[in-house]
Structure 1
Amino acid sequence: MLTTSSYDQLKSAQIAIGKLNSTKPSIYRKFINIIKLTRQLQFGYQYMGSLIMDEDPGKFNPMSQDDYVLSVYYREIENLKTDKKFLDLKQLLKTHNQLSYANISKLALGENPEALVGPTLVR
């Protein structure tokens, strides 16, 4: 699937992420930790986003992974979802879902919106 992101959309998402960080730092920190875990395990950001948003992650499943590693990953996702401030993160992701979970994750990690402008292949 191909998505296209404009600078204005990316900048808006970056501002929303910054606002989440300043107003709800605990859920922001948990989200960053999940993003880093996803990257470390070499899972796709779309897979992560699908799990967080209760969407079907089927086409984004990791190719092969140890059952224990997956169970730890799922546990961390559930830990994020049971946080009392999770609805704020979920709203942010829902509002900016047209950008792709990959772009939202990269913005959260501090990537410049200008570097993310244009078409993105979502795998």
Structure 2
Amino acid sequence: MTTLCSHEDLIATQDALKHVEKSYPALFEQLLHIVNLTRSLQLRYQFMGCLLMDEDPGKNKPSYLHHSVLELYKREIQKLKDNPDFPVIKKTFKSFKKVGYAKISLLLQGAKPETLTGLSVIK
């Protein structure tokens, strides 16, 4: 997904993620686990975000992944969604939707907002 966001948007997103990390450390670790799993399986962050937000992943759904691996991934997503504090994540993702799931994921992994400013295509 192509996203265009300002440096201020990215800093606000990073601040919100830091707040989640500080206020809900176990929830944050679960989310980071999902982001890292997404990266390790070479899935699109957009696909991950769609699953988390109950959106249709459309063309972002992987066609190359074995069914059993995809089901395992979905079970891990569901574990996060079953966390009683998950609405905090959902609210954060919704608040910063214009930043994009990919950039949110990269910020979660420690990317600096300066490296993500402007137009970019991240899957």
Deviation at 1:122, TM superposition (A): 5.3
Deviation at 1:121, TM superposition (A): 2.4
Deviation at 1:11, TM superposition (A): 0.1
Secondary structure of the corresponding residue to residue 62 of structure 2: coil
Query: Which residue of the partner structure matches residue 12 of structure 1?
Result: 12
Query: Which residue of the partner structure matches residue 115 of structure 1?
Result: 115
**Structure 1 spans left out of the alignment, 5+ residues:** none
Q: How does 1:12-91 map to 2 (within 5 A)?
A: 12-91=12-91
Task: Give the RMSD, CA atoms, in angstroms.
Answer: 1.0
Contact 1:27 1:80 in 2 (8 A): yes
**Structure 2 spans left out of the alignment, 5+ residues:** none
Q: Distance in 1 between matches of 2:122 and 2:29?
A: 25
Deviation at 1:3, TM superposition (A): 1.4
AA aligned to 2:114 is: E
Deviation at 1:58, TM superposition (A): 1.5
Question: Cα deviation per residue 1:44-70 (whole Å; 9 max; x = unaligned)?
Answer: 000000000000001101131111101
Contact 1:100 1:122 in 2 (8 A): no
Secondary structure of the corresponding residue to residue 99 of structure 1: coil
Question: Cα deviation per residue 1:10-62 (whole Å; 9 max; x = unaligned)?
Answer: 00000000000000011100000000000000000000000000000011011
Identity %: 38
AA aligned to 1:37 is: L
Q: Which runs of 4+ in 1 moved over 4 A?
A: none
Q: Distance in 2 between matches of 1:106 and 1:82?
A: 23
AA aligned to 1:94 is: K
TM-score after normalising by structure 2: 0.96
Secondary structure of the corresponding residue to residue 65 of structure 2: coil
Contact 1:45 1:101 in 2 (8 A): yes
